[in-house]
Structure 1
Amino acid sequence: MKNSVMSVILALASMAAGLAQAGPLVDVTFKNLGREQAVLKIVTTNESSTYQIASPKPREKVEANTSILFRVQRIISPDVNAAMVRYTIGSKTCAFGTTFQMRMMPGGIKQPQWTKTATPSGGATCVATITSTAADYGWKVEFSMK
């Protein structure tokens, strides 16, 4: 019994330590502004890891003129987070990404930096917009495709 209690306490402590190291949360909205269904296409390891840890998972199919929301929070470091996703509509593809990094400036000053990317191919129109940032460094990003 004593060993079981100790095991539970160690497991809870490990989980709490892991949560304490999590990076800021990113809320991702994907908008399909096209006339056809958008299909999720995982190509890179970053897209795969985003899919694995997202909550809920990005939908594999997003109907025309609809949007989805998912959240990503990596447990690598409290100073980084990222989300990458790729959708296709026919021969059009949009590869989207967003990152957060706490940069160390001269004098030991920390400066938060958020980025977003939207890479089109096949004639796609892709837009990435950071719509807000929060005091805890969490942020919201919107990816749209047409």
Structure 2
Amino acid sequence: MTFKNAFMITLTAGSILASHLTQAGSPVHITVKNLSDQEMYYQSTSAMTQAHASPTPELLIKGKGSDEFRVTNPALPDVTTASLRYTIGNKTCEFRTSYIRTIAPGGLFSGKLNTAPKWDKKAISSGNATCTVTVTSTNFSDHSWSVVFTMK
């Protein structure tokens, strides 16, 4: 294989990879609200969430305070997830939200693969904590969404 051929193969492969990686997953805008009078502490449960959050979640949210950030998956355009854990004293809330582009029925005879967005949310509480997750908006064109995590 000549240098020219090897260079062209490398350039082509790099271009394909770069174009795929620029198709980031749908972003989620997260608002975390501390409804208590005490300080709320963030504990990283997911390296992916921590790495893909912008800005990084605050480690401490004061009583009645809040924090906002975005999470997106830069490598997979069809999946975005965020998993966060907060504590207030012995109370703990684990929040999860996700987006996946699912395969939808139809399109068998047209040759086109039909897809549909699916958003999910979950709050797990322990230590008598009150935890809620509310999806406040979804965008059907770019599949971005916004959620509010609350803890008391």
**Shorter-chain TM-score: which interval?**
0.7 to 0.9
**Greater gyration radius:** 2
- Aligned residue identity for 2:124: T
Distance apart, 1:19 and its partner CA:
1.6
Correspondences of 1:95-134 after superposition (within 5 Å): 95-107=94-106, 108-134=113-139
Distance apart, 1:106 and its partner CA:
2.5
Is the CA contact (8 Å cut-off) linking 2:35 and 2:65 kept in structure 1?
Answer: yes
Distance apart, 1:26 and its partner CA:
0.6
Indicate the residue corresponding to 2:41 in structure 1: 39
Query: Identity of paired residues, percent?
Result: 39
Paired residue secondary structure (1:50): helix
Is the CA contact (8 Å cut-off) linking 2:40 and 2:88 kept in structure 1?
Answer: yes
Distance apart, 1:15 and its partner CA:
4.8
Paired residue secondary structure (2:54): coil
Correspondences of 1:40-79 after superposition (within 5 Å): 40-43=42-45, 47-79=46-78
Q: Deviations over 1:86-133 (max 9, x none)?
A: 000000000001000111023242111000111000000000000001
Correspondences of 1:4-15 after superposition (within 5 Å): 15=18
Using the size of structure 2 for normalisation, the TM-score is 0.81
- Aligned residue identity for 1:117: K
Q: In 2, Cα distance between the equivalents of 1:54 and 1:110?
A: 26
Distance apart, 1:53 and its partner CA:
1.5
Paired residue secondary structure (1:41): strand
Paired residues in the alignment total 133
Is the CA contact (8 Å cut-off) linking 2:99 and 2:118 kept in structure 1?
Answer: yes
RMSD: 1.7
Indicate the residue corresponding to 2:149 in structure 1: 143
Q: In 1, Cα distance between the equivalents of 2:28 and 2:22?
A: 15
Using the size of structure 1 for normalisation, the TM-score is 0.84
Q: In 2, Cα distance between the equivalents of 1:41 and 1:53?
A: 15
- Aligned residue identity for 2:29: D
Q: Give the helix-richer structure, 1 or 2.
A: 1
Paired residue secondary structure (1:24): coil
Q: In 2, Cα distance between the equivalents of 1:109 and 1:48?
A: 32
Is the CA contact (8 Å cut-off) linking 2:21 and 2:76 kept in structure 1?
Answer: no
